[in-house]
Each structure stands twice: as C-alpha cells, then as structure tokens.
Amino acid sequence: MESIKKAAANVRSFHQEQIPKSWLTYREHGSMLGQSCIPLDRVGIYVPGGTAAYPSSVIMNAVPAKVAGVKEIIMVAPPAKDGSINPNVLAAAKEAGVTRIFKLGGAQAIAALAFGTQTVPKVDKITGPGNIFVTLAKKEVFGHCDIDMLAGPSEILIVADKTADAKYIAADMLSQAEHDVLASSIVITDSAVLAEKVNTELNQQLAVLTRKDIAAESLERNGLIIVAKNIKEAMELANLSAPEHLEILTQEPFSMVPYVRHAGAVFLGPYSPEPLGDYFAGPNHILPTGGTARFYSVLNIDTFMKKTSIISYTKEALAAVSGDVIRLAEAEGLGAHANAIKIRTKD
C-alpha cells in the first residue's frame, strides 16, 4: 500500500506540471480572443485482468484524469472466476480517485462504456490498454465516444555502445518479452562484441524466469540484436521503428536526445530501466505502440481535456475586418455568411 501511494504521488506530481492554462487576450479595436481548457465530464478506464493484475494501469489512467478535473472516473476490470477483483487493483483505484467500479471485461465492457446500459453510465472517453478484442472494440466505438489510442503489444528498443552492460540490456529486453509472445525486444549497437555478450546473457537470464516460456517465444518471434555501423545509424533505425520504450545506454546518453524523433518514452543511462517508468517515476506508461509514436503522444493531461475557442469582437473591430470576411465568404459562394457580416456593418 505504501508503494502504491508513493507511485500515485509521483504520477500526480508529474502530471500537475502539464495542466494547460485557459487564456484571454485583447486584440485590435477592443476585440478579445481566447481559449478555455475544460475537463471531460466522465471517462471510462479499462484495467486488464486475465493472467496478471495491473494496479499500475489504474494509477496511470485515473491519476491524470483526476488531476485534469474529470468529475466521474468509471473503472471496468474483468473479475476472477470467483467474481473478485484483485485487492491491489482496488487499493490503487481508491488511491487514484476512481469514482465507480464495474466487474466487466473484454469487448462487452468497451461497448457498455461507449453506449451505456441500465447500470453502466455512458462515458465521453475510454482509456487504457487491453487485449486484441478490447483494442478492436475501442476502434469500433471511436466516434460514439473518444479513445486514447489503439495499444498493441509492448515493445522496447535499446540503443547501446561498447560501454553498456550486457547484463542490463538482457534484463531490460526480457522485462518486455515476458509480457506476451507478441512483445518486441530489440537492441541496436555499434559493437559486435557487446552483441555477442547480450545474446549470452539472454540465454542465462531466461533460464531462471518464472515466465520463461512466454519470454522465450517472444524473443524467438520478435527479438533482434542488430549491429549498426555507428551510433548515428543506430539512432536512425530507432526513429524508423518509433518504439514504445527507447532506452539509450551510451557513454553520453543525453547527447543522443536531440536525435530522438519518434518514441513513446525515452530512458537515459544505465540506472533508468524501463520498469522504473512502468511503475514509479511519474511519467505515464500508457504509450503509443506499433510505430504510432510517429504521430501519437503518451497519455497525458490533454487526454482528459478539451479546448474551446472564445471570440468577442466590438462593433469597431468587426467593421475593421468586415470587407475581408465578406470577400472570403463570397469567394466560397456562401452569400448568407457574407450577409451575416453586412447586416451588422451597413449602418
């Protein structure tokens, strides 16, 4: 419980830095323009169940929603065979500020949140990862409500030079490989010697894992050790991949940051392993996958807010621009648009 509280506090503190500001500014002739940042009324968060319990997913979904000012946070989670929900998940929900919990899972849970039922309220947005059925259901309901993203299998890409520790690299690759057989674990290095060491370490560490069968199949399907010409080429390949998690284990990792164009989250140096971000550091662990980091952002405060424009012109301000507005409206053949301006400025 203490660890859950500390993790929630770190996530809360990080996301409080992201809160956008509403603003209103004066322009020419007394006109005013602005933007109002408004939290969503009600959101639904999906927390996976199945083979594992994920209190961390509760924190990463609900805490930013709470910080954003969302009034109702509806959580759905598939129950165990005895009808219970993992107590760690429930404790995290209480700490994170979840409003109501429903024992629901799969595509039917997504449908209930999107359209509402006699007991489940309809939400404005659904966030949180799930299996392929949950992901496809989110895709189907998009438009009836909003969604965060379409989350695929977990992935890690590690850029490393000869100074990196092969033990750390192998451990971090396996931390993703144990998620499921579709997970992707890749290392790109400019050192053939390091590549051999990593391969040896993978085999040694894999042998003692509790989920070694899953991790082994994941590595067989989607594991790669790539030797690049140099670190610059390694970074170019990393950007092409646009990984969910990008670890940089080089002599000067911060010098590589300007070269990062596409990644969900970046972990710098040997003591910033990916599980630190999964559970505790503060940044969100709900990240774009499958190359979508090229255009998607990590789940954040903006995920739970919308922005509304504010426009206020005085008579003088409207008169000053009326000719331009009328000209543009008439160029599009929209006479009523033009008339809405003319009728106010002909006096």
pLDDT digits (tens, 9 = 90+) for 255-304: 999 999 999 999 999 999 999 999 999 999 999 999 999 999 999 999 99
For position 152, what pLDDT does the model report? 85
Report the SS3 class of residue 108.
Answer: helix
| pLDDT of the residue at 151 | 83
The two beta strands, 125-127 and 100-103, are unpaired
Query: pLDDT tens, 145-176?
Result: 999 998 888 999 999 999 999 999 999 999 99
| Residue 180: band (very low, low, confident or very high) from pLDDT cuts 50, 70, 90 | confident
What is the distance between the alpha carbons of residues 265 and 277, in angstroms, rounded to a whole number?
Answer: 8
pLDDT band at 52, cuts 50/70/90? low
Active site residues: 244-245
Count of CB atoms situated within 10 Å of the CB of 6 = 12
**Predicted local distance difference test score (pLDDT) of residue 89:** 95
pLDDT at position 49 is 80
Q: Which of 100-104, 126-130, 190-194 has the least mean pLDDT?
A: 126-130
56 pLDDT band (50/70/90 cuts)? very high
**Window from 19-23, 127-131, 166-170, 237-241 with minimum mean pLDDT:** 127-131
pLDDT for residue 51: 58
Whether 53 has a pLDDT exceeding 90, the answer reads no
Starting at the earlier edge strand, list the strands of the sheet with 125-127: 100-103, 72-77, 42-46, 125-127, 146-147
Task: Indicate the CATH number for domain 2-149+299-308.
Answer: 3.40.50.1980
Residues 6+ apart with CB under 8 A from 236: none
Spatial distance between the Cα atoms of 49 and 101, rounded to a whole number of angstroms: 14
d(CA 221, CA 90) in angstroms, rounded, equals: 35
* Mean pLDDT of the residues in the chain: 95
Q: Which helix (H) or strand (E) holds 25?
A: strand 23-26
- CATH 3.40.50.1980 occupies which residues in the chain? 2-149+299-308, 155-291
User: What does the pLDDT read at residue 50?
Assistant: 61
CA angle 205, 162, 252 (to 5 degrees): 110
- pLDDT value for 186: 97
Q: Classify residue 141 as exposed, middle or buried by CB count within 10 Å of its CB (0-12, 13-18, 19+).
A: middle
Q: What is the CATH number of domain 155-291?
A: 3.40.50.1980
Q: Which of 305, 294, 301, 233 is nearest to 261 (CA)?
A: 294
Question: Per-residue pLDDT for 347 more than 80?
Answer: no
User: Which pairs from 104-109 meet CB under 8 Å and 24+ separation?
Assistant: 104/76, 104/77, 104/78, 105/48, 105/49, 105/50, 105/76, 105/77, 105/78, 105/79, 106/78, 106/130, 106/131, 106/133, 106/134, 106/137, 107/133, 107/134, 107/136, 107/137, 109/46, 109/76, 109/78, 109/134
Cα gap 183→220, rounded to integer Å: 10
User: For residue 121, what are its two tokens?
Assistant: 């309220």
